[in-house]
Amino acid sequence: MLILVIGDVVGKPGRQAIVRLLPEIKQQYGVDFTVINAENVAGGIGVTPQTATDLLNAGADVLTSGNHIWAQKDIIPVLDSNVPLLRPLNYPPGVPGKGFIISKRVMVVNLIGRTFIGNFDDPFRAMDYLLEHTPEKPPIVVVDFHAEATSEKVALGRYLDGRVSAVLGTHTHVGTIDARILPGGTAYVTDIGMTGPDDSIIGDDADKVIQRFLTQLPHRLSVGKGKAILNAVLVSVDDITGRAFSIERIQKETD
């Protein structure tokens, strides 16, 4: 099975890049299953019901998220519906939504880190519990690990090596060059990267971000404009064993 996982989609430029480029990518590579991180798709922060629908209509099978999942309040009721939109698994019990989903013989899991990003339950032990207590678990398990610290991401990849098909990092919006197959057969990359405006600072208007650093004054950031890029990884997985054969980085840009 060929699984495409697309990094954090930022605002309208990111949505437009998905609509323009995803059908072409799926046809070119013969993609069987598509996961998109959608936590910044609505104006650069959060996801709304409509923007989630836009990504699903464009060809996503499952949407993941991260620390901004609660930014748009109208999405909260959707999290408990049958819409394939995940919030991180390791939020405390009782939080709306679901942290994993099984679709088309693939289990997709959304985890969030704890270092430099927030106070959450332990993602390592949350994943242990899920793997041990999901009897219907299919062989293919893909993890979106939404985390800040490189070391935490690498550690989780090593911890889950041989137990899941892929551990793929999101959140920093800057793609890393360490895509590889770990010794136990798990595909890994520290960060997939961003799908959004190229002429920006991690998706936001560059001038406004620089002003924030210069003045230290809080102000609303806006999504950058212009040509957009799409960052993704394509993972080839054995349907029977769940072991990954290969991981390939994909970067496309709009006209």
- Which CATH number goes with the domain that contains 136? 3.60.21.10
What pLDDT does residue 45 have? 95
Q: Which two tokens stand for residue 251?
A: 């970067």
Sheet of 106-112: strand order equals: 100-103, 106-112, 140-146, 166-170, 187-189, 180-181
Going by C-beta distance under 8 Å and a sequence separation of 6 or more, which residues neighbour residue 129? none
Going by C-beta distance under 8 Å and a sequence separation of 6 or more, which residues neighbour residue 70? 46, 76
Residues of the chain with pLDDT under 70: none
What pLDDT does residue 255 have? 79
pLDDT in tens, 103-148: 999 999 999 999 999 999 999 999 999 999 998 999 999 999 999 9
Going by C-beta distance under 8 Å and a sequence separation of 6 or more, which residues neighbour residue 19? 54, 58
pTM of the entire structure?
Answer: 0.96
Do 172 and 115 form a contact (C-beta atoms < 8 A)? no
Going by C-beta distance under 8 Å and a sequence separation of 6 or more, which residues neighbour residue 232? 4, 5, 6, 7, 25, 192, 193, 195, 249, 250, 251
Q: Is position 219 annotated as part of the catalytic site? A: no
What is the total count of domains within the chain? 1
What pLDDT does residue 221 have? 87
What pLDDT does residue 106 have? 98
